[in-house]
């Protein structure tokens, strides 16, 4: 960004960050450069673009934008969050080990357990909110700590700055999946993380219409290696999808404000009710992650998990909802509810799942930007309808 842009607050960077419009025509929106290749003027004389797996102007505008938002120097866009994770995990080699948060996105667990494990890259699951446990897990073969905060689906908060102190001291990489909060609420690179990962499918796109993923780093050598892997592995984001995510990001600030406002109301309502035996939400003062969350982020996000009281049948609850939709995914404008044990986290063996608290009665709610009272009314009628 130009110098004056460095002074802008994130509300303005969302709209004017990255490449702002089209320099050639003045088009206010970055055009969709729907092309696979580019004319070269002679051997070795390209105009900065060679082939769209390697680079595409629409994708490049988005990559610059996500880097600006995360306050990193380099951004990379992928066809999905998992394509981004695949590329980051490809930094490691046989014999390397990762220390991983104990409740993470199920697909992240799956790719570690059933793909990279086959290549001799191992992992150890640790409660990363417990700093002593993180420190104890660091051995020679450990090359990185992989954290989700708040984690999926129990919203466990890890003190990113404190873990970064441990990884810096021991020469390991700190990787943070920032999907649940987005750079609008949390910027892990500024807290000492080395690599930030996103599923852009969620809040960044924001409209449940596009699958995408991101990686952002600040270190040049690390960026060069990641760009190499991005091109070598090839899981890049298409031009049209890049356009859609740029469009989504423009309204991220106003959406997140409403998401969080609604989530706070719903979490407080749930916690004060007799309907649930537990509410997980780092925006509640009673939540163990509340203070750390407040210290390291600009808001608690809009993901809430809760355990329905035994008086209610969770299967019936899902079937009784009218406004809130039962579906995988999160972070869209519409409220979505899911059953982690059988949906997002089904890839995790039952004993591992239950040990960390992902019980069968656990319900995960992605609070949308509808009217909060309408959402509460719908949740309440569905809970009442599910009484045993």
Ligand X SMILES: *Cc1c(COP(=O)(O)O)cnc(C)c1O
Under rule CB under 6 A, residue 202 binds ligand X: yes
Under rule CB under 6 A, residue 312 binds ligand X: no
CB of 104 to ligand X, least distance (A): 7
Residue nearest to ligand X (CB): 81
Under rule CB under 6 A, residue 89 binds ligand X: no
Burial of 249 per CB tally in 10 Å (0-12, 13-18, 19+): buried
Under rule CB under 6 A, residue 112 binds ligand X: no
Q: Where do the H-state alpha helices sit in the chain? A: 10-16, 57-69, 81-89, 106-114, 131-137, 160-170, 182-185, 220-233, 239-250, 252-272, 290-296, 314-320, 350-356, 372-385
Please name the residue that has the structure tokens 């899902």.
318
Q: Which of 64, 68, 96, 105 is catalytic?
A: 105
Catalytic residue check, 33:
no
CB of 210 to ligand X, least distance (A): 9
Reduced DSSP (H G I as helix, E B as strand, rest coil) percent helix, strand, coil of the chain, to 5: 40, 15, 45
Which one among 149, 199, 230, 296 touches ligand X, defined by CB under 6 A?
A: 199
Under rule CB under 6 A, residue 203 binds ligand X: no
Which is nearest to 18 in space by CA: 31, 37, 41, 1? 1
Burial of 152 per CB tally in 10 Å (0-12, 13-18, 19+): buried
Between CA 50 and CA 55 the distance in angstroms is 7
Under rule CB under 6 A, residue 378 binds ligand X: no
Under rule CB under 6 A, residue 280 binds ligand X: no
Under rule CB under 6 A, residue 177 binds ligand X: yes
Which one among 21, 31, 55, 107 touches ligand X, defined by CB under 6 A?
A: 107
In Å, how far are 69, 153, 232 from 44, measured between CA atoms? 34, 50, 21
Between CA 89 and CA 91 the distance in angstroms is 5
Under rule CB under 6 A, residue 75 binds ligand X: no
Within 213-272, the residues that bind ligand X by CB under 6 A are 213
Q: Which of 5, 22, 38, 53 is catalytic?
A: 53
Please name the residue that has the structure tokens 């990363």.
128
Catalytic residue check, 202:
yes
CB of 152 to ligand X, least distance (A): 5
Between CA 250 and CA 244 the distance in angstroms is 10
> Nearest-5° angle of CA 178, CA 180, CA 182?
55
Q: Which of 102, 177, 194, 241 is catalytic?
A: 177
Under rule CB under 6 A, residue 179 binds ligand X: yes
Under rule CB under 6 A, residue 201 binds ligand X: yes
CB of 336 to ligand X, least distance (A): 12
Under rule CB under 6 A, residue 193 binds ligand X: no
Query: Could you tell me which stretch among 78-86, 167-175, 230-238, 380-388 binds ligand X (CB under 6 A)?
Result: 78-86
C-beta separation of 207 from 332 below 8 A = yes
- Size of the residue set binding ligand X (CB under 6 A): 16
CB of 293 to ligand X, least distance (A): 16
Q: Read out DSSP for 288-327?
A: TTHHHHHHH-SS--SEEEEEE-TTB-HHHHHHH-SSSEE-
Catalytic residue check, 53:
yes
Which one among 62, 69, 77, 82 touches ligand X, defined by CB under 6 A?
A: 82
Under rule CB under 6 A, residue 128 binds ligand X: no
Between CA 269 and CA 324 the distance in angstroms is 16
Under rule CB under 6 A, residue 188 binds ligand X: no
Region of 114 on the Ramachandran plot (φ > 0 left; ψ -120 to 50 alpha; else beta): alpha
Burial of 3 per CB tally in 10 Å (0-12, 13-18, 19+): exposed
C-beta separation of 230 from 54 below 8 A = no
Bridge-based pairing of strands 74-78 and 122-126 is unpaired
Q: Name the residue nearer to ligand X (CB basis): 55 or 107.
A: 107
Under rule CB under 6 A, residue 149 binds ligand X: no
Query: Could you tell me which stretch among 127-135, 176-184, 231-239, 333-341 binds ligand X (CB under 6 A)?
Result: 176-184
Query: Could you tell me which stretch among 18-26, 80-88, 163-171, 183-191 binds ligand X (CB under 6 A)?
Result: 80-88
CB of 371 to ligand X, least distance (A): 25
Q: Which residues are catalytic?
A: 53, 105, 177, 202
Which residues contact ligand X (rule: CB under 6 A)?
A: 80-82, 105, 107-108, 148, 152, 177, 179-180, 199, 201-202, 211, 213
């Amino acid at each position: 960004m130009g110098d004056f842009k460095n002074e802008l607050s994130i509300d303005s960077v969302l709209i004017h960050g990255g490449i702002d419009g089209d320099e050639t025509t003045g088009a206010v929106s970055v055009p969709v450069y729907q092309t696979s290749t580019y004319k070269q003027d002679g051997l070795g004389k390209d105009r900065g673009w060679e082939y769209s797996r390697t680079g595409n102007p629409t994708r490049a505008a988005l990559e610059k934008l996500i880097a600006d938002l995360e306050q990193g120097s380099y951004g990379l866009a992928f066809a999905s969050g998992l394509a981004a994770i695949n590329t980051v995990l490809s930094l490691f080699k046989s014999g390397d080990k990762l220390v991983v948060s104990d409740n993470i996105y199920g697909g992240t667990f799956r790719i570690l357990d059933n793909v990279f494990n086959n290549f001799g890259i191992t992992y150890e699951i640790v409660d990363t909110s417990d700093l002593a446990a993180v420190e104890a897990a660091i051995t020679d073969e450990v090359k990185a700590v992989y954290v989700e905060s708040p984690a999926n689906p129990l919203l466990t908060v890890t003190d990113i700055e404190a873990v970064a102190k441990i990884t810096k001291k021991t020469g390991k990489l700190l990787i943070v999946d920032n999907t649940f909060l987005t750079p609008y609420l949390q910027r892990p690179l500024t807290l000492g993380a080395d690599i930030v990962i996103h599923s852009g499918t969620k809040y960044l796109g924001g409209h449940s219409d596009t699958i995408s993923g991101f990686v952002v780093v600040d270190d040049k050598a690390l960026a060069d290696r990641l760009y190499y892997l991005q091109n070598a592995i090839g899981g890049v984001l298409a031009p049209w999808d890049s356009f859609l995510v740029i469009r989504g990001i423009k309204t991220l600030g106003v959406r997140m404000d409403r998401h969080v406002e609604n989530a706070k109301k719903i979490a407080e309502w749930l916690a004060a009710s007799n309907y649930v035996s537990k509410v997980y939400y780092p925006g509640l003062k009673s939540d163990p992650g509340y203070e750390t969350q407040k210290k390291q982020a600009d808001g608690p996000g809009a993901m809430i998990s809760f355990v329905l009281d035994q008086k209610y049948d969770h299967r019936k609850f899902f079937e009784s909802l009218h406004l809130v939709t039962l579906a995988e995914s999160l972070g869209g404008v519409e409220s979505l509810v899911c059953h982690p044990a059988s949906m997002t986290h089904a890839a995790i063996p039952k004993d591992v799942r239950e040990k960390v608290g992902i019980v069968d009665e656990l319900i995960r709610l992605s609070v949308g930007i509808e009217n909060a009272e309408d959402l509460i009314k719908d949740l309440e009628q569905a809970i009442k309808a599910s009484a045993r």
